[in-house]
Amino acid sequence: MDDLSCNLYFLARVLVILIPLLLASLKLRTTMRKHKPRLPPGPWRLPVIGHLHHLAKTPLIHRALADLARRCNAPVMYLRLGELDAVVVSSAAAAGEVMRTHDVAMATRPMSATVRATAAGGLGIAFSPYGERWRELRKLSAMELLSASRVRSFRAVREDEATSLVAGIAAAACPPGGELVNVTARVAASVSDSALRAMMGERFERREELLETITQVLKIGTGFNMGDLFPSSRLVAAIDGTVRIAQAMQRKLFQLVDYAIEQHRERRSGPSAATDAEEDEHLLDVLLRIHVEGGLGCSLHEPCKILGYDVLKGTIVLVNAWAICRDPKYWDEPEVFKPERFEEGATDFMGTDFHYTPFGAGRRICPGIAFALANVELVLAALLFHFDWHLPPGVTPSELDMAEEMGVTLAASRKFQIKFIPFSKRCKGGDNPRTGTPVTVVDVLAELP
Ligand code: HEM
């Protein structure tokens, strides 16, 4: 074979290999373009950190996300947060698609490294992946722990705690003391005691430690620590240190719960056990019974579309309920305190109106609604009934610092000091017109619908 034939033969062989490859790559590109997901819009991003720099202005992430969504005019917005893909939902219509239309696909909560450490990998109901185990836990909550009849059974505990709260404030507020009262701390302690007594039947000896640990867990579990955003990097996790702190907290929580179980078991087997009425069953008894009797997988995020945009498998979907609750599209003067906006009862808070979802919605809606309402309603009604509330001298309502603190739940960053003036008749133990006896918190309860 001469040189020319040799070259032509070589060229032909190259072409025979290249042309199919080129055609295949062209076809792949056309197919990919045709099937390229239509991701939601988002702001400009940087390498490595993605969109994190847009959130650096404030530690209050919900505010930064709301601001960004508004500026991008994006009720559904895509963000790359370090190594994580996230979609932020900031409108009621999109929230409805997440929590109703795609309820099943969204039913496994994302678990950041910090949450994984504090929640022991998702053993409890709140972070258990959607599946058989979660269904069992949910059934247990609905039928045994948080049912309407169980919540009713703790009525005496609630009334007792509310009475102590009112008495404590009255003692501090009545002359000659007449001091300012830290209402945040007092209400938090009272509601916690009520919940702990419902769980164990007694005040927990190590209550302060337990409440402090829970408060810390709620503060660090937001999912926005550096270790959460770069989960594959051991270096970032080591420098950030939050996961290590979370592990220590989880150990502490388990220790405290073990202690509570032991204390409860001892009490149940002690001399008073025989006199305990059968209906005197607390939440810990129910759990221990089920543990003895026996009883008690993971389905992930399918890809789906929200308002026409593709949300890919593995994406974290954040419904910014805070932003939706402040959207003038749904609320008249959203930043103004107007309790009368709820008077007609036109807005549902049980997960059907997606512009107001304080308890969430869909499959993972809060199962503790009845328990929560019974406590909140009584405490608020008792304090409003017994006292006139005043701000500390010289402070006007517009000067009140209403800023919130970042955490799993958003609490006011500042403790509220209130001057409580007992309504004089009630302060002196005035008469209940029906019974002729002093008005008590039980009378307040009776007035409730
Ligand atoms: C005013 C008080 C409360 C509020 C505002 C509240 C709010 C919420 C919210 C927003 C969720 C997430 C729902 C979702 O993902 O769609 C939730 C979940 C949950 N809440 Fe509450 N909650 C309150 C009180 C309680 C109480 C008193 C209990 C128990 C005694 C409780 C137990 C739970 C549990 C176990 C979950 C996780 C449910 C699951 O993942 O299946 N909550 N709560």
3-state secondary structure 120-164: CCCCCCCCCCCCHHHHHHHHHHHHHHCCHHHHHHCHHHHHHHHHH
Largest CA distance in the chain: 124
Q: What is the mean pLDDT of residues 75-102?
A: 96
> Are residue 45 and residue 159 in the same domain, yes or no?
no
Calpha distance 427→439 (Å, rounded): 9
Q: What's the 20 CA to ligand 1 centre distance in angstroms?
A: 58
Decide if 46 is inside a domain. yes
Mean pLDDT across the stretch 361-387?
A: 93
Q: Which of 111, 359, 369, 377 to mutate to test the pocket of ligand 1 (most atoms within 8 A of CB)?
A: 359
Flag whether pLDDT at 336 surpasses 50.
yes
409 Cβ partners below 8 Å, 6+ apart? 218
Task: Judge whether 120 lies within some domain.
Answer: no
Question: What is the rounded average pLDDT of the residues 252-259?
Answer: 92
Closest C-alpha residue for ligand 1 atom 6? 359
100 contact partners, CB below 8 Å, separation of at least 6: 354, 361, 362
364 and 343 within one domain = no
CA of 368 from ligand 1 middle (Å) equals 6
Residue 119 resides in a domain: no
Last residue of a domain, one of 320, 337, 358: 358
Predicted local confidence at residue 21, as pLDDT: 55
Residue 21 lies in a domain: no
- pTM, two decimals, is 0.83
Mean of per-residue pLDDT scores for the chain: 84
Look at 29-33, 185-189, 257-261 and tell me which has the smallest mean pLDDT: 29-33
- The larger pLDDT score, comparing residue 431 to residue 306, is at 306
- The ligand 1 atom at the shortest distance from the C-alpha of residue 124 is 35
How many independent structural domains does the chain possess? Answer: 2
**pLDDT exceeds 60 at position 344:** yes
372 lines ligand 1 (CB under 6 A): yes
- Would the CB of 359 count as within 6 Å of ligand 1? yes
Residue 89 lies in a domain: yes
> Does 413 lie in the same domain as 292?
yes
> Which structural domain, as residue segments, surrounds residue 227?
133-300+359-447
Residue-wise pLDDT for 211-237, tens only, equals 899 989 988 988 899 999 999 999 999
pLDDT of residue 254: 92
Same domain for 410 and 336 = no
Tell me if 360 CB under 6 Å of ligand 1: yes
Percentage helix, strand, coil for the chain under 3-state DSSP, each rounded to 5: 50, 10, 40
The residue out of 316, 337, 358 marking a domain boundary is: 358
Q: What pLDDT, on a 0 to 100 scale, did the predictor assign at position 246?
A: 94
Is residue 361 within 6 Å of ligand 1 at its C-beta?
yes
The predicted pLDDT at position 297 comes to 32
Q: How many A from CA of 116 to the centre of ligand 1? A: 18
My answer on whether 305 and 268 are in the same domain is no
User: Are residues 249 and 381 located together in one domain of the fold?
Assistant: yes
Closest C-alpha to 244, from 120, 114, 110:
114
Are 236 and 322 in the same domain?
no
Least confident of 32-36, 50-54, 355-359, 432-436: 432-436
Look at 297 and 130; give whichever has higher pLDDT.
130
Looking at the fold, whether 95 and 150 belong to one and the same domain comes out as no
pLDDT above 70 covers a percentage of the chain that reads 82
Evaluate the CA torsion angle 274, 278, 279, 280 in order and state its sign. positive
Verify that 58 and 196 share a domain, yes or no. no
Same domain, 251 and 363: yes
Boundary-marking domain end, from 332, 358, 384: 358
pLDDT in tens, 399-435: 888 889 888 888 888 888 898 888 755 444 445 445 5
Same structural domain, 155 and 43:
no
Q: Quick one: 241 and 378 in the same domain? A: yes
What pLDDT, on a 0 to 100 scale, did the predictor assign at position 86?
95
Ligand 1 centroid, distance to 1 Cα (angstroms): 83
Tens digit of each residue's pLDDT (9 = 90 or more) over 271-283 = 666 555 545 788 8
- CA atoms of 270 and 265, how far apart (whole Å): 8
